[in-house]
């Protein structure tokens, strides 16, 4: 069943036809007009109430259809999650940084929702998987201790606004020692620092670095910090890259964002799959509310290298690979079929699927064929199979979100 899906025009999105979201939607829906000044940030596929998908042929929401068609969910998913699609599939097109944030685990989400329902809208956790469609930048997880120490020793503008004892204690640690407790203290000091002090320290850093040689600028992340500061002047999050890994993903590479792992998407386009939730605890690079006590208390301060944070798929067959995160809510399959291949029948899953065509031309068929082109989104019932047939001389590439059951 072909779906009409919700576009979100958040301020940080790529504008007009620069946006992969806009290009996909315009390709999938001939009536969609791309406005040159509108930021097309996200395409939502699923049943989340903030952006529910519509079954085009029936003219009803997918969530309404499922209420009367439990077979579409399947008994395995129904027993685990009830009558719902427990995941949300998205495409993101990012022009400037999304907030530095983390997502609570399930138990913590339930507590936060109970205490602050206006701020934390649902009781669900929100693990996420992002697969790059274009070159993609992100901050993810805290750096290894030697890297943080190296930066702190070269950044007087940063260290002078932090508690001296905490910084000195962190710098004096042996590289092999566990620095998570001291890192938590230093990060807390940064987050509670007065706004004008943060703004002044960043201004001093940027003034010093603009006079330095290109090699020094590069080693101290000057181009990145300046770009963040241009978009979010004086924001505490501009200091975050010295504590967090700066990831530059190639198309096809992925990161999995488990509970409590700090992260921020900075630029590029990606396919994202997540548990069906909107729970976010923010730390910076945002005009929105920053919940410092909740954030500092929940973060995972473990050190990670960029290699540890890359999340690799497993090959399923010659046309598909799957990213299976350690949560039951979702997994993501990438399918690619060339015109010289046989028509491809998707693997039968005990789960409903959301499938988006991201490139190529052809047709997809369950019982009735649907023309397949970039931006076409279909819902596939549990335990059903979809056939992908590329047009002659072309290919089809698609992403399929399923439950990880």
What distance in Å separates the CA atoms of residue 325 and residue 132, rounded to the nearest whole number? 16
Q: Is 282 a catalytic residue?
A: yes
Q: What would the pLDDT profile of 14-27 be if each residue is shown by its tens digit?
A: 999 999 999 999 99
Among candidate residues 143, 282, 349, 361, the one labeled active-site is 282
What tokens appear for 335 in the block?
């399918």
Q: What would the pLDDT profile of 148-173 be if each residue is shown by its tens digit?
A: 999 999 999 999 999 999 999 999 99
Q: At what angle do helices 164-171 and 145-154 cross, to 10 degrees?
A: 130
The full length of the chain comes to 405
What tokens appear for 199 in the block?
């703004």
pLDDT at position 12, please?
96
Q: Got the DSSP string for 203-244?
A: HHHHHHHTTS-HHHHHHTTHHHHHHHHHHSTT-GGGGGGGTE
pLDDT at position 218, please?
97
pLDDT at position 91, please?
98
Q: E-strand spans in 327-376?
A: 331-338, 344-345, 353-360, 362-365, 369-372
What tokens appear for 204 in the block?
């001093």
pLDDT at position 107, please?
87
Domains and CATH numbers, the chain: 2-140+248-290 (2.60.120.10), 141-244 (1.10.441.10), 314-402 (2.60.120.10)
pLDDT at position 369, please?
87
Structural element, H or E, at residue 3: strand 2-4
pLDDT at position 374, please?
97
Q: At what angle do helices 164-171 and 180-191 cross, to 10 degrees?
A: 150
368, burial (CB in 10 Å: exposed 0-12, middle 13-18, buried 19+): exposed
pLDDT at position 123, please?
81
pLDDT at position 131, please?
98
What tokens appear for 136 in the block?
């993609």
Q: What is the pTM of this model?
A: 0.95
What residues in the chain have per-residue pLDDT under 50?
none
């Amino acid at each position: 069943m072909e779906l009409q899906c919700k576009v979100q025009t958040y301020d940080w999105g790529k504008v007009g036809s620069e946006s992969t979201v806009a290009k996909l939607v315009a390709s999938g829906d001939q009536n969609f007009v791309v406005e040159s000044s509108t930021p097309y940030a996200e395409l939502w596929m699923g049943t989340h109430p903030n952006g529910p998908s519509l079954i085009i042929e029936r003219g009803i929401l997918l969530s309404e259809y499922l209420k009367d068609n439990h077979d579409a969910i399947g008994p395995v998913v129904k027993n685990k999650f009830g009558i719902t699609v427990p995941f949300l599939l998205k495409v993101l097109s990012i022009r400037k940084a999304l907030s530095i944030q983390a997502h609570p685990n399930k138990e913590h989400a339930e507590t936060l929702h109970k205490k602050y329902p206006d701020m934390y809208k649902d009781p669900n956790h929100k693990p996420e998987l992002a697969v790059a469609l274009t070159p993609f930048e992100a901050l993810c997880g805290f750096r290894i201790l030697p890297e943080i120490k190296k930066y702190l020793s070269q950044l007087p503008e940063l260290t002078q606004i932090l508690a001296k004892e905490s910084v000195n204690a962190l710098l004096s640690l042996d590289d092999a020692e566990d620095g998570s407790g001291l890192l938590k203290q230093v990060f807390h000091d940064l987050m509670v620092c007065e706004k004008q002090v943060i703004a002044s320290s960043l201004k001093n850093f940027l003034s010093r670095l603009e006079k330095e040689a290109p090699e020094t600028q590069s080693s101290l992340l000057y181009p990145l910090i300046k770009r963040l500061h241009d978009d979010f002047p004086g924001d505490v999050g501009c200091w975050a890259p010295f504590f967090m890994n700066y990831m530059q993903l190639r198309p096809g590479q992925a990161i999995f964002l488990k509970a409590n792992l700090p992260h921020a998407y900075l630029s590029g386009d990606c396919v994202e799959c997540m548990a069906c939730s909107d729970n976010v605890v923010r730390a910076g690079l945002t005009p929105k509310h920053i919940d410092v006590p909740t954030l500092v208390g929940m973060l995972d301060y473990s050190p990670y290298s960029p290699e540890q944070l890359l999340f690799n798929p497993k090959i399923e067959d010659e046309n598909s690979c799957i990213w299976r995160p350690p949560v039951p809510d979702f997994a993501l399959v990438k399918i690619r079929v060339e015109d010289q291949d046989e028509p491809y029948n998707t693997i039968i899953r005990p789960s409903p699927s959301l499938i988006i065509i991201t490139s190529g031309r052809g047709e997809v068929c369950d019982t009735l064929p649907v023309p397949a082109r970039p931006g076409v989104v279909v819902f596939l019932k549990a335990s059903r199979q979809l056939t992908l047939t590329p047009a002659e001389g072309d290919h089809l590439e698609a992403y399929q979100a399923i439950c990880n059951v």
